[in-house]
Structure 1
Amino acid sequence: MLPNAITAAALCSGLTGIRFAVEGQWSFAILAVILAGVLDGLDGRIARLLNAQSRFGAELDSLADSLSFGMAPALILYMWSLQELDRFGWFAALAFAICCALRLARFNAQIDVDEQPHKSAGFLTGVPAPVGAGLAFAPFYIWQETGIELFRDPVILSIWISLMAVLLISNMATLSWAAIRPRRGIRLWLIAFMTLAFAALLLEPWWSLTAISAGYLALMPYALIKYGRIKRRRAAERAMMRGGEGVSQTDA
């Protein structure tokens, strides 16, 4: 019950963001979607802690993610800027919402698949839906702080969210925070850093979100390089195993 209740709360938060957007309260609209992302990060962990995972919960989570991180951001950004482009702005919003739904459908289809190279190596396939929504809002973060209308330009925003849509359904390896296991020697430093980051979010939320978005994008090449190393190491290990089997058969 508890994990599913949190998932439902995340869904309510994401949909409430649309209501704030209709009323022109852009900051509240986007913060509501970000709150949905926080709740989405909690429900799965609580389900694992309580050993309360279920197929129903997984389906509910994907449905909530599609609405909160696909449909809601698309509508919010359309009302904020993209509607000035009329049809092309709407196509960009549709592309983001559809790609988010496709990503979640792919995730559900692979739940029971044993062979998942990215997952077995501690990576995700493509950008997660909550992260994609957060990245799609990046121009708003900067616009909110600087007031520079360039970041609200519908053409630039259309290109930006189209790129985020591509990242959602891409096959590239991305970092999985759940797989990160910091060494004991840096855990206190990490706790201190997280505390300061939380304080920064309270004091300067938009600049902090901008920094988080930039940091995530900067880490994407690192994830590709790291996964490439793991992939090459695995290929070498398989080649050695096949070579060993060949030698054994020859000896026999």
Structure 2
Amino acid sequence: MSDLFPPFEPERVETKRARFKPIPFRLIAPNVITLLALCLGLTAMRLVVEGKLETATICILIAAALDGVDGRLARLLKGTSRFGAELDSLSDFVNFGVATGYVLWVFVLHDLKSFGWIIVLTLACAMALRLARFNVMIDDPNRPEWQKNFFVGMPAPAGAITAMLPLYLQFIGVPVQDYGAPFVGLYILFIAFLTISRIPCYAGKTLGTRIPRDQVLPIFVAVVIVAGLLFAYPFEVLALIVVAYLALIPVSVARYRKLEREHAAAVPAGIPANGPTPAAEEVPPQA
């Protein structure tokens, strides 16, 4: 009976069990960067309403830069997780689908009335579909190793940066806002198509993993020159980068087709072409 009715001891202090284990900061840091990028995207929507178009554009550009940092930081700290991948995708949709589309709407697409709003909806939905496809492809175990160097379609951050080309042109003196609404609308539809297409875009994930010793100093000088030009002439440089990026897509497609033919020829008939790693277009970017 003593087991059923233990004596009451008011002086006895029961030790409380910890309900949750402490989380290492390395798992939190990438998520903090993702949330900062999300705040910048939402702030861009407020700034464009207040008429601060240039500042709103810069906010989205910084959010795109942070989106490239959080995944690499997570892999460096070994803090990748499924939660981080989902949070990153949601942040990308808001920043590069909703916020970018809204900035473009306030900038010039509102001149097209309902058709302009349809273009904004198309861009946002294309970003959502592209990110959903990316999340599915993360779990694909049958992608060969060489395919990790290519994105399937234009990635969301690059889609936002290229979609804002009319803004860069406006800031350097081209009167896009006065006369270019129809052309901007067609251009945004073209970018939306690239994001949901299966056109391979070079990712450059293995670019620079091994650099010849005699090229180190020239690379340092080139980085300094590009950084200086970017600070001195930001929107001119961004416009050139976007044009160069779009021009290199056919080169990327040709390279992808060549590697695909070589891979098909190297794999014996009837044997699945399983790569050594489940390389989707990106590794889950963060914790």
Superposition CA RMSD, Å? 1.9
Q: Distance in 2 between matches of 1:72 and 1:134?
A: 12
**What TM-score do the two structures reach when normalised by structure 2?**
0.80
Corresponding position: 1:227 with 2:250: no
Instruction: State which of 111, 130, 146 in structure 1 corresponds to 2:138.
Output: 111
Map 1:93-242 to 2 at 5 A.
Answer: 93-116=120-143, 120-149=147-176, 153-181=180-208, 183-184=211-212, 185-238=214-267, 241-242=268-269
Corresponding position: 1:67 with 2:94: yes
Decide which structure has greater helix share. Answer: 1
Q: Distance in 1 between matches of 2:142 and 2:77?
A: 27
| 1:157 Cα deviation from its structure 2 partner | 0.8
Provide the identity percentage.
37
1:134 to 1:152, Cα distance in 2 relative to 1, 3 A: farther
Q: Distance in 2 between matches of 1:64 and 1:95?
A: 18
Unpaired runs of at least 5, structure 2: 1-27, 271-287
**What TM-score do the two structures reach when normalised by structure 1?**
0.91
Secondary structure in 2 matching 1:197:
helix
Which structure has more relative contact order (CA 8 Å, sep 6+)? It is: 2
| 1:188 Cα deviation from its structure 2 partner | 3.0
1:114 to 1:98, Cα distance in 2 relative to 1, 3 A: same
Q: Work out whether residues 141 and 209 of structure 1, in 8 Å CA contact, stay in contact via their aligned partners in 2.
A: yes
| Residue range with higher mean Cα deviation, 182-191 or 26-35 | 182-191
Q: Work out whether residues 45 and 56 of structure 2, in 8 Å CA contact, stay in contact via their aligned partners in 1.
A: yes
Q: Distance in 2 between matches of 1:118 and 1:83?
A: 45
Number of equivalenced pairs: 242
Structure with max Cα Rg: 2
Secondary structure in 2 matching 1:174:
strand
Q: Work out whether residues 93 and 128 of structure 2, in 8 Å CA contact, stay in contact via their aligned partners in 1.
A: yes
Paired residue for 2:65?
Answer: 38
Instruction: State which of 33, 38, 50 in structure 2 corresponds to 1:23.
Output: 50
Write the deviation string for residues 146-186 of structure 1: whole angstroms up to 9, x where unpaired. Answer: 24237862111110000000000110110113231363143
Unpaired runs of at least 5, structure 1: 244-252
1:153 to 1:229, Cα distance in 2 relative to 1, 3 A: same
Secondary structure in 1 matching 2:94:
helix
